[in-house]
Amino acid sequence: MTNKTIKFKPISPEVLEIAEEHHRSSEAVLEVLKEVQDRHGFLSQDAITDTSRALGIPAQKAFGVTTFYSMLSLEERRNVLRVCDGPVCWLKRASETHAVLDETASGWTVERTSCLGLCDRAPAVLVNDEQAGPIGPEIAQKVCEGWRGVETDYSKPRNGEVRAMMRLAGVIDPDEIESALEHEVYSGLKSALQKTPQQVYEEVEASGLQGRGGAGFLVGMKWKFVAQANGSPKYIICNADESEPLIFKDRVLIDTNPHQLLEGITIGGYACGASEAWIYIRGEYEYQARRLERAIEQANAKNLLGENILGSGFTFQIHVHRGAGAYICGEETALIESLEGNRGEPRLRPPYPPQWGFRGKPTAVNNVESFCAAAQIMKNGVDWWKSVSTYPTAGTKMYMVLGHVKNPGLFEAPFGLTLRQIIDEFGGGMADGAKFNFALCGGAAGTVVNESMLDVPIDFASSRKGISLGAGSFLICDQNVSPVGIVRELLHFFAAESCGKCTPCRVGTWRSLEILNRMAQGQGWKGDTEELKTLATLMQEASFCGLGQSVGIPMMSALKHFGAEFIKAETVEPLQTQR
């Protein structure tokens, strides 16, 4: 047998150049692929293979990453209009906007996309990397001409607001560190550096600060676990992959005061004994990613990041890492997998990230709001944090009220608000002609409740009573919105965003959506309601990660409060062959 030498085509100089900029690190595969796509409008087989060779990873791994993220494409597409079809945009006639753009947007690629984190600007559109909204069907064509809508102004607090994290919204220039310093941003970091790391995490723990991503785990306790864990180096990750429908608070916090976030992350790094952090930000937040990169550059220039911060001996650096469209990466272990250059699929837990996280080292993962709150606690003290509210849960929370209220948007207030207060006192009451029907509470993975829940104080424990706080969002729906329809929209989202790793979630979401599509049209089969209950239970009990497990929460709560609406949609006796 004759040995033949296999000759490979040289790696594209362009791909090599991009790979070199990222030190040819296998962890940078997503970033390299995105930059290659930005230049060509898509990823060819040759580009994916060249990327794998330049980074020293198997070609199938690079291909697997490419096909995992919705913002990467194997087909050429330029001038992309991504029309959001999340629940809020659905209420605001986004499907009509999509139809108009499909018909009139010559030279553009029009696609649907899951929630863009622009719920306060619904219906929302991502124009390449530019955020736009509201873009209703009557002005849809203007988006191709440069119209980007109107941003929501949060500079003025609403009546009843108690602002801590939002105190400087509209007061400082978010792109100028001098403006932030004039208003004592980074004073919390200066205070922390005068204490020991143990004193810092103990103070945050004593404040009672609970993680603001929805789970409510004590932030100070997590930092203590990381600080005391064996293994080094230790890492900090800020979860800014805000991809759940109804949630946009972290975007607003970054837009109004990015230095507050950097300050909180740095305080966390000092407390945990870390020297490096990553902000994992969703790919649809390109504007916010650039704002953070400017803020990091400015903080380094002022020695508020980098080597020997303020002469303290503490060295710390923050990096920004962009995702590329994957809701699952909001789950902390899936986020870590993505950050390591893999498909963003969740890990089996335990071990948990504080013991075994990024690169197998102790890692603290908190979201944007949690870090911003920590900065305020270190600046003003535990007693102050507890004094801003008379409710047993200390401090403030970011809330979002959306849907059929007169004044939708975002506000900051203490815990313990009731749904009635959120609607009447902060949302301005129901919109003209609207009567309260139900609310989706907490986010897409929250509870669907009726008027019986209007006066229940809401906190991290209120889910036991049937009403979720989650990440703090509340979609208020009037008499014209069907509970069956809203659950169908949620399952449309979950089915599209399931990572596919486990069968209960992968198959359960699509089967549920199939049933709900029929029911929403009033053409359900007898027994569909019972099957939905079975599927919801199956996903809750058998899905691999918390995201799959949470799909059943809105399903079961809607079936509990509006079971008659679902039964009413069962109009057809199924044939034996249909099942």
Selection from 333, 320, 308, 314 nearest residue 200 by Cα = 314
Contact, 511 vs 436, CB < 8 A?
A: no
Domain end call among 103, 124, 145: 145
Q: Residues 72, 75, 80, 83: what is their CA dihedral angle, to the nearest 10 degrees?
A: -70
Question: Is residue 240 classed as helix, strand or coil in its secondary structure?
Answer: strand
167 domain-assigned? no
Tokens coding 560: 């509990």
- 235 and 264 co-located in one domain: yes
Q: Strands, E, within 172-251: which ranges?
A: 235-240
338 domain-assigned? yes
At 571 the pLDDT is 85
Q: How are beta strands 396-403 and 473-478 bridged, if at all?
A: parallel
The tokens 């986010």 sit on which residue?
443
8 domain-assigned? no
Helix (H) or strand (E) holding 363: strand 363-367
- 58 and 96 co-located in one domain: no
- 280 and 367 co-located in one domain: yes
CA Rg value for the chain: 24
Q: Residues 246, 139, 72, 11: what is their CA dihedral angle, to the nearest 10 degrees?
A: -150
- 208 and 325 co-located in one domain: yes
Question: Is residue 123 classed as helix, strand or coil in its secondary structure?
Answer: coil
Using N-to-C axis directions, what is the helix angle for 197-206 and 258-272, rounded to 10°?
A: 120
Q: Which residues pair with 82 in a beta bridge?
A: 111, 126
Q: State residue 39 phi and psi, 5-degree precision.
A: -85, -25
Tokens coding 115: 């929630």
Q: State residue 15 phi and psi, 5-degree precision.
A: -65, -40
Q: State residue 67 phi and psi, 5-degree precision.
A: -80, -5
C-alpha distances in Å from residue 207, one per residue of 395, 415, 460, 527, 535: 8, 14, 16, 50, 40
Give the integer Cα–Cα distance in Å for 320 and 339: 11
Q: HSE-up of 130 (CA within 13 Å, CB side)?
A: 16
- 109 and 122 co-located in one domain: yes
Question: Is residue 576 classed as helix, strand or coil in its secondary structure?
Answer: helix
498 domain-assigned? yes
Q: How are beta strands 473-478 and 524-525 bridged, if at all?
A: unpaired
The tokens 């916010």 sit on which residue?
288
Look at the chain and report how many structural domains it folds into. 5
pLDDT less than 70: residues of the chain: 1-7, 574-579
5 domain-assigned? no
Give the integer Cα–Cα distance in Å for 322 and 240: 9
- 455 and 487 co-located in one domain: no
Q: State residue 476 phi and psi, 5-degree precision.
A: -95, 125
C-alpha distances in Å from residue 201, one per residue of 198, 273, 361: 5, 11, 19
Give the integer Cα–Cα distance in Å for 439 and 448: 6
570 domain-assigned? yes
C-alpha distances in Å from residue 551, one per residue of 245, 474, 475, 558: 13, 17, 17, 12
Q: State residue 401 phi and psi, 5-degree precision.
A: -120, 130
- 34 and 138 co-located in one domain: no
Question: Is residue 141 classed as helix, strand or coil in its secondary structure?
Answer: helix
Q: What is the CATH number of the domain that holds 213?
A: 3.40.50.11540
150 domain-assigned? no
- 370 and 227 co-located in one domain: yes
Q: Which residues pair with 317 in a beta bridge?
A: 276
Give the integer Cα–Cα distance in Å for 207 and 220: 8
Using N-to-C axis directions, what is the helix angle for 45-55 and 13-21, rounded to 10°?
A: 50
- 212 and 292 co-located in one domain: yes
- 360 and 216 co-located in one domain: yes
Q: How are beta strands 447-449 and 436-441 bridged, if at all?
A: antiparallel
Domain end call among 93, 123, 145: 145
Contact, 493 vs 444, CB < 8 A?
A: yes
Give the integer Cα–Cα distance in Å for 379 and 187: 6
Domain end call among 95, 125, 145: 145
- 138 and 187 co-located in one domain: no
Contact, 483 vs 496, CB < 8 A?
A: no
Q: Which 8-state DSSP code applies to residue 12?
A: P
At 578 the pLDDT is 45
Residue 359 CB partners (closer than 8 Å, separation 6+) = 235, 340
Parent domain of 124: 80-145
Q: What is the CATH number of the domain that holds 464?
A: 3.10.20.600
Selection from 509, 307, 451 nearest residue 517 by Cα = 509
Residue 6 CB partners (closer than 8 Å, separation 6+) = none
Contact, 468 vs 69, CB < 8 A?
A: no
4 domain-assigned? no
- 289 and 348 co-located in one domain: yes
Give the integer Cα–Cα distance in Å for 496 and 505: 11
Selection from 217, 501, 507, 471 nearest residue 337 by Cα = 501
At 6 the pLDDT is 60
